[in-house]
Structure 1
Amino acid sequence: MTDTIAPTPSQKGFLAWVERTGNRLPDPVFIFFYLILFLVIVSVVLAFMGATALHPTQVNADGSPVVIKSASLLSAENIQRLWVEMPKTFTHFHPLGYVLVVMLGAGVAERSGLFAAGIRQAVRGAPLFLLTPVVALVAMLSNHAADAGYVVMIPLAAILFASVGRHPLAGIAAAFAGVSGGFSANISPGQLDALLFGITEAAVDGSGLDPNWAMNIAGNWWFIVVLMFIYLPVIWFVTDKIIEPRLGKWVPDDRQAADYGNEAKPLNDDQRKGLRRAGLAMLAVCALWAAMTFGPGTPLLSDETAVPGQAWYVTATPFFRSLVAGFMILFLAAGWAYGSAAGSIKNHRDLVDMMAEAMRDMGYYLVLAFAAAHFVAMFTWSNLGLISAIHGANGIENSGLPLPIALGLIVLFTGLLNLFVGSASAKWALLAPVLVPMLMLLGISPEGATAAYRVGDGATNIITPLMVYFPLILVFARRWQKDFGLGSLTAMMIPYSVWMLISGVILMVAWIAFGLDLGPGAPMSYSLPG
């Protein structure tokens, strides 16, 4: 967790309270440590009290429902499991392999300069009246570029707005809303999908409700595309009609006029040549995957017997599961092709160094994953996740709330939690063991639970000081307005957060009401096996 700027005495009220409260929270790694201690205590108390629930699908030999009992984490069996299986618990944590594999390729694409050059080229040629939506669109697409979206796109947006006489802070707001508020909106699955669905798979496996469910990185594909095209006009409207009029006319001083930096410079010939080669490399990888899917032998299609009504999904399961490796190869090939033309990759050793640097940057994530893996595993061992899910599902069912409304409330709860826990993976690791099986019991697929989470998580990223890039955005803003403070940044982004949350909740409710698929082979509705 990064340090944030302390509120000044003049900053009072709710925003200052949120900042003070957030700054008192420990690092997410220690949050998991404290939660594990709390989980141990709760498991002991509930095991002593004899907390139980009836399994919704499993039955005994005599036909009676299986009784799920709360298990103490201080039992001899669980203590032994903790110490003996610690390496397995860590290395078998589903998100770990998915994220590391994708980052091997994405690290090359980022460090070769491909992502930065692609963002600059996409934004520079936009017509004046389309500047805001183009900035917002490229900002959302830049999430495939990991940190490049924050580091390149946001300061570049300020420069682009300033170069045409518009307020640079409005450019920062639009880009920040796209990169961070639209964190889950994109044209195709990427690193975030691998991360979130890995945690979802761990939650499904831990519940024991459906041993046949398999992670599909494309499980939210249709949803995130629609979300992108809904967020695009929202960001456009808020920027041009709310934020920029409140900022007023921008009058640059001499320093600002001379300090636009190198971000606004056009690409040189080598960089443009690199982009062309990267495009060809991406087409080649797509053609390779198409050949393995539809060509002789069809290695990415399955011959397994399908469940009635799910034939296409079962047949294509190997293809979906191969997309994690596919994105790694795609980013690696495109980054290498760009770097060899632009001069950032001179030989194979440079390529290997970039991959190694990407893994070094994952050091903190490895520590966080170790803590999260043990929390998720111990939550499963205690049976508290499944017991909570069953009783929670029964409570929602008995409350009489329509399922779309209940799902909308879950989105709002996720957005509220985001104000206090900045890490997307940390929050989903906390929520997934309960929310995923609970919604499965209510007829919502694991893909639907993941979609509901990502809507709430993205909408409030831009107003929490605990978001890791929040202080960096403040630095970018102070380049153009020296007295721009934390409260100013938060106040500027609240309208985006409110409208994105409202539109996201409406989309989520409408999606479940119409029963649309969330992605290829990923329906919103769900029925437990048996």
Structure 2
Amino acid sequence: MEQQEKKGLTMRILDWIERVGNKLPHPVTLFAIFALMVVVASWIFSTMNVEVEDPATGETLQVVNLLSSDGIQYMFESMVENFVGFAPLGTVLVTMLGIGIAERSGLISAMLRGLVTSVPRSLMTAALVFGGIMSSMAADAGYVVLTPLGAVLFAGLGRHPLAGLAAAFAGVSAGFSANLLLTSLDPLLGDLTIQAAATIDPAYADTILYTMNYYFMIVSVFVLTIVGTLVTDKIVEPRLGEYKGGVKEEVDYISPIEKKGMIGALIAFLVTIGLMALLVVPTWGPLRDPDDFLASPFFHSLVPVILIMFFVPGYVYGKITEEIKNDKDVANQMSETMASMGIYIVLAFTAGQFVAYFNHTNLGKVIAVSGAEFLDSVGFTGIGLIIAFIFVAGFINLFIGSSSAKWAIMAPVFVPLMMQLGYSPELTTLAYRIADSTTNIISPLMPYFAIVIAFAQKYDKKVGIGTLISTMLPYSVIFSIVWIIMLLIWMLTGAPIGPGAGFEYNG
């Protein structure tokens, strides 16, 4: 009985968050309001002479006033650049060109129907969460590929599509730091950690490896897959209830011509992979860095790679099934895909202004440094300090979307601080990665938050920021709790979190 009451209270809280959030204006309007608020806040804090010292450079950071003469000039001159330079815009649109061919030729539909009719229903959620977690190998591509795919997959199973979208989004974003392989994030954060550690102990900094959190992240893949599956099946989907929207994803058995098309698409896919491998695997490959594979141009070229990987099999499938007869069909299918992205393009305009203003005014850096100074002043030690750091880093993540940008600010403060208290830089980096990943899915400032709303509105036009935050909050809270418990158990056992990486620093 008590458990039911607690469950009822949780659901009521989530419903209240959704109602309050959805009473806000349309996301397009909301981001415009946010941008206006940044303008006003920049004026207020600049007149108060708010400033902090950048721990990374030692320079004094002041809030830039957007209502000054220079600020107004910046807003007018940067408007177009803020729009076209909005981080996810090009990634999403270019990727969708390839996905559009694969989708409108019928390949994705056929693959999903084959998956639905062959894989046990009970494993669908786990497969989706696991795929989302592993998608960080392809940087941000999981947001564009797996999130809408999760909705389509669940709809085809007769389940609520927003539950599928949520499961994929949780895996891609909340599990971003976990993987069975190293990703581009490891050297990115690793270099910042090494630089910060060198200010205290250069000799120790030279021993820090990019694989510093590897063991912990491998185990996290399986733990988060199980937890994400349970949250989806036991909390999120029951709360969403039965889907009564107008969008139906029919799942029929594969016809002979579709099987033939899928075989052709598979052959085309394997050939494409082989050709791509020639660009990356040999030491002379133009997309390979012979000295540091993780720094290879290949990892900075994943968007066009994904475009090609979807386009070629989709085109071959369409030719075999005669869904594509000539180049006009290809052009039409691409244009139809771009037309469906209209709401996202509008969202990108207002969201781009907001993010650019927030960065230009230094408000995000001021919040981050102030949070770091607060944590330094409260006097926590031991496990309490680690947990407090995770909460502060998670709070800062709500305001600064870029993982590397936050760590560039926080590492010079917290890595030396933790080392002086006897904790290793590797542990500090791990705690930061936990905080950064788990709060991505509830931050409207996360660059891909807007596109996830746009994907969700395909199935429910009323979906707003409140709906998405209330849907994703259980993942954020439970992932955080589970990851912190994992970390505490790991610390108690003394097991290494990566090759040669322990918890203690004895300088």
TM-score normalised by length of structure 2? 0.65
Q: How many residues matched?
A: 413
What's 1:36 paired with?
Answer: 35
- Residue 286 of structure 2 aligns to which amino acid in structure 1? P
Measured after TM superposition, the shift of residue 236 of structure 1 is 5.6
Structure 1: distance between partners of 2:75 and 2:295: 37
Shift of 1:292: 1.2
Please tell me the root mean square deviation across aligned C-alpha atoms, in Å: 4.9
What fraction of aligned residue pairs are identical, expressed as a percent? 30
Q: Name the residue aligned to 1:455.
A: 438
Q: Does the alignment pair 1:405 with 2:424?
A: no
Residue of structure 2 in register with 1:27 after alignment: 26
Q: Counterparts of 2:443 and 2:42 in 1: how far apart (Å)? A: 32
Distance 1:328 1:448 in 2: 35
| SS class of match (1:87) | helix
Contact 1:43 1:73 in 2 (8 A): yes
How big is the shift at 1:291? 0.9
Look up the match of 2:210: none
Residue 123 of structure 2 aligns with an amino acid whose one-letter code is P
- The AA in structure 1 aligned to 2:31 is F
Residue 51 (str. 1) matches residue 40 (str. 2) = no
3-state SS of paired residue (2:64):
coil
Pair 1:280 & 2:267 matched: yes
Query: How is 1:107-506 mapped onto 2 (pairs within 5 angstroms)?
Result: 107-126=100-119, 131-138=121-128, 141=131, 144-150=145-151, 152-158=152-158, 175=164, 178-184=167-173, 229-234=222-227, 263-295=250-282, 297-302=284-289, 312=292, 316-400=295-379, 404-406=386-388, 408-409=390-391, 435=406, 437-441=408-412, 442-443=414-415, 452-458=435-441, 499-500=478-479, 502-503=481-482, 506=485
Q: CA deviation at 1:284?
A: 2.2
CA distance in 1, matches of 2:166, 2:62: 45
Return the alpha-carbon distance in structure 2 between the equivalents of residues 491 and 124 of structure 1.
32
Q: Which amino acid aligns with 1:389?
A: A
Report if aligned partners of 2:45, 2:63 keep a CA contact under 8 Å in 1.
yes
CA distance in 1 between counterparts of 2:63 and 2:55 reads 16
Question: TM-score if structure 1 supplies the norm length?
Answer: 0.62
1:6 maps to none
User: Matched residues in 1 for 2:54 and 2:66: separation?
Assistant: 21
Change (3 A) 1:347 1:491: same
Give me the whole-angstrom Cα distance separating, in 2, the residues matched to 1:263 and 1:436: 45
1:76 partner amino acid:
S
Give the match's secondary structure for 1:267: coil
Residue 92 of structure 1: how far off its partner (Å): 2.5
Q: How many Å apart are 1:137 and its aligned residue?
A: 0.9
1:287 partner amino acid = G
Q: CA deviation at 1:43?
A: 1.5
1:13-66 C-alpha deviation (Å, 9 max, x unpaired)? 5344223312211122222222222222221222222112223243xxxxxx43
Structure 1 segment 52-91 matched on structure 2, within 5 A = 52-58=51-57, 65-91=58-84
- Which AA in structure 2 matches 1:279? L
Paired residue secondary structure (2:157): helix
In structure 1, give the amino acid aligned to 2:156.
L
Structure 1 residues 269-322: Cα deviation after superposition (integer angstroms, max 9, x where no partner): 12122222222222222222221123474211347xxxxxxx526x73312101
* 1:347 to 1:436, Cα distance in 2 relative to 1, 3 A: farther
Shift of 1:370: 1.8
Task: Give unpaired runs (5+ residues) of structure 2.
Answer: 1-9, 133-141, 193-212, 240-247, 416-424, 445-451, 462-468
Post-superposition Cα deviations, 1:206-264, rounded to whole Å, max 9, x if no partner, equal xxxxxxxxxxxxxx999998665334433665788x68xx99xxxxxxxxxxxxx9944
Q: More deviation in 351-360 or 320-329?
A: 351-360
| SS class of match (1:147) | helix
3-state SS of paired residue (1:298): coil
Q: Distance in 1 between matches of 2:358 and 2:472?
A: 36
Instruction: Check if 1:93 corresponds to 2:86.
Output: yes
The separation in 2 between residues aligned to 1:221 and 1:112, in whole angstroms, is 40
Distance 1:511-1:149 versus aligned 2 partners, 3 A rule: farther
Cα distance between partner residues in 2 of 1:187 and 1:71: 33
Write the deviation string for residues 399-438 of structure 1: whole angstroms up to 9, x where unpaired: 35567524643687699x8xxxxxxxxx875x87984554
- Larger displacement relative to structure 2 (292-301 or 328-337): 292-301
For residue 108 of structure 1, report the CA deviation from its aligned partner. 1.5
**C-alpha displacement at 1:329, in angstroms?**
0.9
> CA 1:93–1:498 in structure 2 vs 1: closer, same or farther (change >3 Å)?
closer
